[in-house]
Amino acid sequence: MTEAYATIVFLFVLFTLLGSSIWIGLALMGVAWVGMEMFTTRPAGDAMITTIWTGASSWTLTALPLFIWMGEILYRTRLSQDMFRGLAPWMRWLPGGLLHTNIAGCTIFAAVSGSSAATLTTVGKMSIPELRKRGYPEYMIIGTLAGAATLGLMIPPSLTLIVYGVSINESIIKLFMAGIIPGLVLASLFMTYIMAWHFIRPDQRPPPEPKMSFGEMLAESRFLIPVLLLVFSVIGSMYFGWATATEAAAVGVLGSLTLAIFQRSLTASAFFESLMGATRTSAMIALILMGAAFLSLSMGFTGLPRALAAWIDEMQLSPITLIAALTVFYIILGMFLDGISSVVLTMAIVEPMIRQAGIDVIWFGIFIVVVVEMAQVTPPIGFNLFVLQGMTRHEIGYISKTAIPMVGLMLLMVVILVAFPELATWLPNNLRQ
């Protein structure tokens, strides 16, 4: 009964604070404070000070602002134009044509930016006008871009995976490596959808692109070289053991600054804006993590996570049944909270449950990223939908409808991960030390 009473109190205070438009990080701290005062004898102030400082001063967390800054710098370069120019000659011959540049462009940019919104904005600002000019259907342009931009959450460096790793004290590099293969599989599902559209709706195909010689295609590909070098320097340095996640983030920042200078797109104002944008985003995520750390401590003192884990154990749920229940839970939660908030808010409860069920925490990190990706394109709080609304001026309902097939493909990706868990575990298990 004590655990049930504590659960009701926690949920009531949480939804009251969130409903009053208080910042999520402060709302989490408020819930934790109430829990400490009502259910423990330990001074809440001392516990809060110690926990918040410990969570905010984590060395692992230093990779977060650096990766955010790298994405901010690249957002202000000509990267999207160069990527489209380099990718277009190779995508044009595929069924579905240049729509594949949305998927390929987001996949490449996701490898140098951990943000879904940054990926969407960078690729979209070039691909949307180009694809419109060539006569591609509007619903396919918007839908494929909305889905493909979520790859920024999975393909390393992923901000969500950093937050997840910090929350459960797991290796960031292993989580990054785990996201590569599933990210490429999800990108291939998106491309398969475009190919299916090409054959099912031949009446909607735009006029064919003018022919290019192989030499011309190779010449245009030179525009991809800078970003591919940056991808290798960030991900390759971690895989081969040359750098930790934080060191790789520093390499990425230096590389993106070099790329911006090389393109002559790094003005003093752009540099300052990128720095302030990274500072604001990092401070927001850090505040959420501080609140989540204090909430985890508070819940630990109440015994709620242990009791819930024991309850799950008594129910004798199979791991697949538990994953199915958590999928529904996170989809519903994602309708009201952004991805990072969903992760930090639930880890104190969910982590003991998955460990009790014998689920690999690395695999679960990739699973949770997939379901959090759905939250980016599902109303009413689908952040990517609002970004696309600002870019295209369409109604949010129309944009949501175009993204429905992509949500279905993400659900299919969950099924594939359950059926083939090695997709997420093989690479980190064979990581070069």
DSSP 238-299: HHTTSS-HHHHHHHHHHHHHHHHHHTT---HHHHHHHHHHHHHHHHHHHHHHHHHHHHHHHH
pLDDT at 260 over 80: yes
Which residue, among 221, 235, 181, has the nearest Cα to 70 in the 3D structure?
235
- Whole-number average pLDDT of the chain: 82
C-alpha to C-alpha distance for 7 and 24, rounded to whole angstroms? 19
**Angle subtended at Cα 76 by Cα 121 and Cα 340, rounded to the nearest 5 degrees:** 50
Tell me what pLDDT residue 68 has.
Answer: 80
- Least confident range from 11-20, 29-38, 262-271, 385-394: namely 11-20
C-alpha to C-alpha distance for 45 and 51, rounded to whole angstroms? 10
- Least confident range from 252-261, 290-299, 316-325, 418-427: namely 290-299
Whether the pTM exceeds 0.85: the reply is: no
- The pLDDT-based confidence of 199 (bands split at 50, 70, 90) is very high
Report, as an integer, the average pLDDT of 367-384.
80
pLDDT in tens, 376-387: 787 766 777 877
pLDDT at 363 over 90: yes
Report, as an integer, the average pLDDT of 280-291.
78
Report, as an integer, the average pLDDT of 392-396.
82
C-alpha to C-alpha distance for 61 and 140, rounded to whole angstroms? 38
Report, as an integer, the average pLDDT of 218-231.
83
C-alpha to C-alpha distance for 255 and 70, rounded to whole angstroms? 8
pLDDT in tens, 48-80: 777 777 767 767 677 778 888 887 887 777 776
pLDDT at 118 over 90: no
Length of the chain equals 433
Tell me what pLDDT residue 305 has.
Answer: 62
C-alpha to C-alpha distance for 242 and 230, rounded to whole angstroms? 15
Which residue, among 99, 181, 205, has the nearest Cα to 148 in the 3D structure?
99
Report, as an integer, the average pLDDT of 253-274.
85
Tell me what pLDDT residue 309 has.
Answer: 60
Report, as an integer, the average pLDDT of 343-353.
80
